[in-house]
Amino acid sequence: MIGGNESCTAGPMPISYLTCLTYVLGEWTGVEHIEDYLSYAVYLLWVLLPLAIVFILPGGLVILFYTSILLLHIYKRKNELKEAYSNDFWDGGKQMLATLWDAHGRIWHGYELHGAENIPEGPGLVVFYHGATPADYIYFMARLLIQRKRNCHVVADHFVFRLPGFKILLDAHGVMHGPKEECVSALKKGCLLAIAPGGVREALFSDEMYTIIWGNRKGFAQVAIDAKVPIIPMFTQNVREGIRTLGGIKILRSLYERIRLPIVPLYGGFPVKLRTFIGEPIPYEPNITADELTAKTKAALQALIEKHQKIPGNIFRALMERFQTQKKDD
C-alpha cells in the first residue's frame, strides 16, 4: 500500500500528491514556477471566500421556494383524485408549507410575531414595509395560518408570475396580480389581503435607514375605501439586515426604471433576529379620501419603524439580538 506522502514519483524520489499535481500542471501548461501561481490562487480563494458566501447565502431562499413547489406537486399528485379537505383542495398543502417556512423562520431567524390580536376576524388590508425579499411576509403568513387558521392573500408584482415553476405556488396561496377590482372583490368576500405599496422599488432601493418608498401609489387606499375594510400596518424588525441589496448604485436604479426587472444583486442571508409587529388597525371612514388614507397609513407604518427599529440598521447588532430574551418595548 502506498502512504499518503508517497503517492507518485518523479525520478527516484517519492513526492506528495500536491507536488505531483503541480509538476503535471507545469508540464501540461508549460508555465514555469506554476506553484507560485497556485499559492496565489489559494490565497485569493481564502481572502474572497467570505465575500462569496454573502452572495451565495441568499440562494438558500430560492432553494426553499423550489422545495415548496416540489412539495406542492407531490401533494397535488397524491390528492388529484380526491379533495384533501372539504373546503379547499390546497388546505393540506398550505398547512404543510406553513410548517416548513415557520420552522425555517424559527431556526434561522428566531422569528417572532407580535400584535396578531390586532388582525380583525373579518376582512382587512395588511400594509407592510417591503424588505429586500418577502421572506418576512411568508414567515408571517405561515405563523398566522398555524396559530389562527387564517389565510392571508397577497398582491405580488407582475414579474413574479413569470418566474419558472412558480404558478402552482401562486395558485395554491391565492397570490393576486393586483387589479383594484380583484382586490376589492376578495375583501368583500371576507378575505385578509396584504400589499406592500413600495413593491419592488422599495425592496431594491430602500436601505438601512428603512426609508418608505411609495411614490404616488395610493391605489391600496382606494381599495380599502371601496371594500369598506380597515387597514392594518405591519413592519418586521431587522428585515433589511438579513438580506441587503446593491441598490445604492445609481446605474442599477436607472436600469430598473428602464426595464422594470429586479436585477439588482442581493447579499447577506444572515441569521439576524426578525420580529414582525402588527399595528393597530386604521378603521374605515366613509368620508376619507384616498390621499388622506394613504398619508394616515404611511404615518402609522413610519411610527412602527421608529418604535421597533434602531436606525440606521446594523447587521452585527441584529445578529446579537438573537441572544436577547426581551424585545423592544411595544
How many whole angstroms separate alpha carbon 49 and alpha carbon 46? Answer: 5
Output the pLDDT for position 206.
94
Let me know if residue 30 belongs to a domain. Answer: no
Share above pLDDT 70 across residues of the chain, in percent, rounded to a whole number:
79
Mean pLDDT of the chain: 86
pLDDT mean over 307-322: 95
**Residue, of 328 and 237, whose pLDDT is higher:** 237
Let me know if residue 326 belongs to a domain. Answer: no
Let me know if residue 291 belongs to a domain. Answer: yes
- pLDDT higher than threshold 80 for residue 36: no
Let me know if residue 83 belongs to a domain. Answer: no
Q: What is the pLDDT of residues 163-173, one digit of tens each?
A: 999 999 999 99
Q: What is the pLDDT of residues 102-137, one digit of tens each?
A: 999 999 999 999 999 999 999 999 999 999 999 999
How many whole angstroms separate alpha carbon 170 and alpha carbon 141? Answer: 14
Let me know if residue 123 belongs to a domain. Answer: yes
Domain count, the chain: 1
User: What does the H/E/C string look like for the chain?
Assistant: CCCCCCCEEECCEEECHHHHHHHHHHHHHCCCCHHHHHHHHHHHHHHHHHHHHHHHCCHHHHHHHHHHHHHHHHHHHHCCCCCCCCCCCCHHHHHHHHHHHHHHHHHHHCCEEECHHHCCCCCEEEEECCCCCCHHHHHHHHHHHHHHCCCEEEECCHHHHHCCCCHHHHHHCCCECCCHHHHHHHHHCCCEEEECCCHHHHHHHCCCCCCCCCCCCCHHHHHHHHHCCCEEEEEEECHHHHEEECCCCHHHHHHHHHHCCCCCCEEECCCCCCEEEECCCECCCCCCCHHHHHHHHHHHHHHHHHHHCCCCCCHHHHHHHHHCCCCCCC
Output the pLDDT for position 329.
47
Q: Which residues contact 135 (CB under 8 A, 6 or more apart)?
A: 61, 105, 242, 243
Cα 308-313-314 angle, rounded to 5 deg: 120
**Residue, of 308 and 92, whose pLDDT is higher:** 308
Let me know if residue 59 belongs to a domain. Answer: yes
Output the pLDDT for position 18.
58
- pLDDT higher than threshold 70 for residue 42: no
| Reported pTM | 0.82
- pLDDT higher than threshold 70 for residue 208: yes
Let me know if residue 118 belongs to a domain. Answer: yes
Let me know if residue 18 belongs to a domain. Answer: no
Output the pLDDT for position 273.
97
Output the pLDDT for position 187.
97
pLDDT mean over 37-63: 67
Which residue range(s) make up the domain with 192?
Answer: 48-76+89-321
Find the CATH number of the domain harbouring 207.
3.40.1130
Q: What is the pLDDT of residues 266-304, one digit of tens each?
A: 999 999 999 999 999 999 999 999 999 999 999 999 999
Catalytic residues: 130
Output the pLDDT for position 48.
57
The type of residue at 188 is K
How many whole angstroms separate alpha carbon 248 and alpha carbon 245? Answer: 8
The three grid cell numbers given for residue 176, joined into one nine-digit string: 393576486
How does residue 3 score in pLDDT terms, banded at 50, 70 and 90?
Answer: very low
